[in-house]
Each structure stands twice: as structure tokens, then as C-alpha cells.
Amino acid sequence: MPKKCEGAPGAPPCAKFASFGMATDKVKRWCGAHGAAHGAVALQMQKCCEICKTKKAHYGLPSEKRRRWCAKCGKAQGAVLIGANMCEECGEKQANFGINDGGPDSRKKRWCASCGRTHGATFIYPLSQTKQKQKMCEGAACGGKKQASFGMPDERKKRWCGSCGQSVGAIRLQAQKMCEKCGLKQASFGLLAERKKRWCEECGRPENAERIQPKKRRPSAAAAAAAAMAMTAAAAAAPQEPQEPQAPQAPQAPPEAPPAKRAKPEAVDVPPPGDPSRPRPPPGNPSEPGPPPDS
């Protein structure tokens, strides 16, 4: 595991990794900020500047071709960037401009920007294995300073820029579909029955064309689930309004029991008055007259 910086004495520990140390013991003890106070140098595989001893050396004398100083310290020594193609005139700046005329020295970096203007040079774009060669305009109006993106419909070859290509009737050669009539603007209008982009806005008016909008794609189940989870998380993270404390409620009395229902008296068969089987009322109860006395 890389060692942490020891920091300054009496100060809190530093969180950076140690990459500087003394040139005598070659032990990494400090970072760049704390190492400058101890006169430490960068202990790395790359060669450091011979003057400041804190930055990598990329500059040297043209006669030696050896990296000895950094950019700041090398300017005072008249050093140049080792390993880079320098300008043929001034020799102080890196060469990125050249003549792109298709000759034997075409695409050769010879001058810097200031010196290349006197020669009519253009910037030489770097070539990569995955990117095609960027061709410059062949027209004389721009002087080959713009990138070629226009060409003839039958050739399908980029030869001119926009201003130079319109004068010769060229069209833009790109992935987007161009108008079927003018061939200069991008096709975004068509018939709704066909759903096909065929013309630009001006050429589509006589055909009663309308702008063809891309179809809206329905979100997948995973996207819908992710959106639902995001809405749930946002609702949970939203601050909730504080609720006012409610006053304590008085205890309520238990509900009263309903009154008991009275039982109905059972029906008793009482013989009619005058019937000898009818019981006599007790004496002293004149509520019911007794049977007539015997004569």
C-alpha cells in the first residue's frame, strides 16, 4: 500500500500519498507541498528537473537531445521540447502546421501557427486508426483552411466546405438524409401516410408535407420500475410539515346499558263470571263481585 505523507511537525497528518524524499536515502516521506520545505525531490521513475527538482524534465538542449529541465526552468536555458517536432523557422514552438496539397511533403508538420501564416499553411490534424482522414477543402475561396464536408451526389466524395461547395452545386455528404429536391438542407418533412422524411420545409410546401416527428418509445419495465423507485425515494426525502400537538381528551363515560325488556305475562284461561269453577276472590276484595247467594 502506498505510504502517506508525514506532513509538517506538530501539524495534523496529511491525506496525500508520499512521492517526495531526500536524494540521499531515496525514501518517500512527503507530498509535493510538504516536501518543498525539506528540500525533497520527486522520487519517480521519470527524470526530474535539475533546477527545481519538483517537476518532470521534458526540455533539453537541441545539441544534447537529453531531457534536463521542466518548461519553466528550460526557457532560461534556451531549451526545447525533446521528442517533439519544432518549427523550422523559429525553433521555439512546436510545429503543427503544414501544406496539405497532396504532394510528397503533404501533411508534414513544418511550422508553428505564427510562422505558418506566411506560407499559407493549415493545421495538420492527427490521424488515428479508428478515425478516417480529415480532408480539407479544395476550393480557392477559403484557401484550404476549412474541413471538406460537401461533394457531388454522383461521386459521394467530400471535396469542399459549405461556402465553396454551394457555388459548384455540391451537397452535404453526411449520415442525415438530405432533401430530395434541393439536396442542400436536411429532410424533415414528408407525407403522413408514408411516414418518410423526403423534403426540407421549403420544398415540402408544394407537396403539402408535414414535419415527421419521431415515434415515442414506451419505457421498458425496468425503466418504469426505476422511475417508481425514484418517485418513492423523492417522496421519502421530502420534508414533512410538523403536526400541531393535540390537547389531551377527557376520558369518556362508558355507554349506558339499554333498559331490560319486561317479560310478558302468560295468558291464563279464566272462566266467565257465574261459572262455579271460577275461583272466588279472597274475602275483603270487592274488586270482583262474588256469586249470588243461594235463595
243 has a pLDDT exceeding 80 = no
Q: Look up residue 221 and give its amino acid.
A: A
Average of per-residue pLDDT values in the chain: 77
Full DSSP string of 55-100: SB--EE-TTT----B-HHHHHHTT-EETTS-B-SSSSSSB--EE--
User: Residue 147 to residues 101, 107, 158, 167: CA-CA distances in angstroms?
Assistant: 14, 14, 9, 16
Grid cell, residue 222, equals 425496468
- pLDDT(143) > 50: yes
pLDDT category at 61 given cuts 50, 70, 90 is confident
Selected residue with higher pLDDT from 81 and 220: 81
The whole-number pLDDT of residue 271 equals 65
Find the helix or strand (DSSP H, E) in which 172 lies.
Answer: strand 171-172
* pLDDT beyond 50 at 37: yes
> Would you say residue 286 has pLDDT above 70?
no
Looking at residue 288, its pLDDT comes to 52
Closest Cα to residue 56, out of 38, 44, 66, 40?
Answer: 44
pLDDT at 102: 65
Instruction: Give the pLDDT confidence of 160-178 residue by residue, as tens digits.
Output: 888 888 888 888 776 667 7
Long-range CB contacts (within 8 A, 24+) of 116-123: 121/97, 122/97, 122/98, 123/96, 123/97
Residues 19-23, mean pLDDT to the nearest whole number: 80
pLDDT value for 40: 80
- Summarize the confidence of residues 37-41 as an average pLDDT: 78
Question: How far apart are alpha carbons 182 and 142 in whole angstroms?
Answer: 24
Q: What is the mean pLDDT of residues 216-223?
A: 72
Q: Write out the three cell numbers for 30.
A: 512527503
Q: Is the pLDDT of residue 38 over 70?
A: yes
- Kindly state the average pLDDT of the residues 138-167: 82
| Residue ranges per structural domain of the chain | 1-44, 135-174, 177-213
Residue 131: is its pLDDT beyond 50? Answer: no
CA-to-CA distance for 56 and 51, rounded, in angstroms?
A: 11
Total-model pTM? 0.32
